[in-house]
Amino acid sequence: MKLILTQDVSGLGAPGEVVEVAPGYGRNYLVPQGLAILATRGAEKQIATIRRAREVREVHDRGSAEAIKNRLAALSVKLPARSGRSGRLFGSVTSSDVAAAVASAGGPTLDRRLITLPSPIKSLGSHTVHVKVHPEVEATLTLEVVPAS
């Protein structure tokens, strides 16, 4: 089954790429999740649109990616969250929450899809978050989850 990826799929490809996958994987997972669309004759326009959107979002050169990595490493990010007395959060911290906290702390604007949480953040304290700034550059960010006042 030929599909066009609309989002980055780990181990498969980047947005705008045409991939060949097993019919069940495409029909039952990729298409319903919005990660891919069927490759048809009229899909060239869609591929071009997806690639243009991806190019705008991506950091183009490695030098600016390294600069963003250094800014993130020097940044002190605190995220207030509601918690119980034992320090356990009501819910969990998502990648969107992390992106908003970085922006409010004066850091660069990050796409939530580039932020990787090694495990769900469900407690107060210091946590390590990975940000894939560029295909070759990954930044590590320390996030301090504090109780909301």
Q: Can you read off the two tokens belonging to residue 24?
A: 């069940």
Rounded distance, CA 72 to CA 110, Å? 10
Same domain assignment for residues 67 and 131: yes
- Gap between the Cα atoms of 17 and 7, Å rounded: 9
Q: Which domain CATH number covers 41?
A: 3.40.5.10
Task: Identify whether residues 78 and 19 lie together within a single domain.
Answer: no
Q: pLDDT digit string (tens) for 82-136?
A: 998 898 999 899 999 999 999 999 888 888 888 999 888 999 999 999 998 887 8
Final residue belonging to a domain, choices 32, 57, 82: 57
Would you say the pTM of this structure is higher than 0.85?
no
Q: What is the pLDDT of residues 21-69, one digit of tens each?
A: 999 999 999 999 999 999 887 877 777 777 777 666 665 677 788 888 8
Distance CA 63, CA 60 (A): 9
Nearest CA among 41, 31, 33, 38 for reference residue 4 = 38
Partners of 143 in the β-ladder: 77, 127
Verify that 36 and 94 share a domain, yes or no. no
**Domain that residue 38 falls in:** 2-57
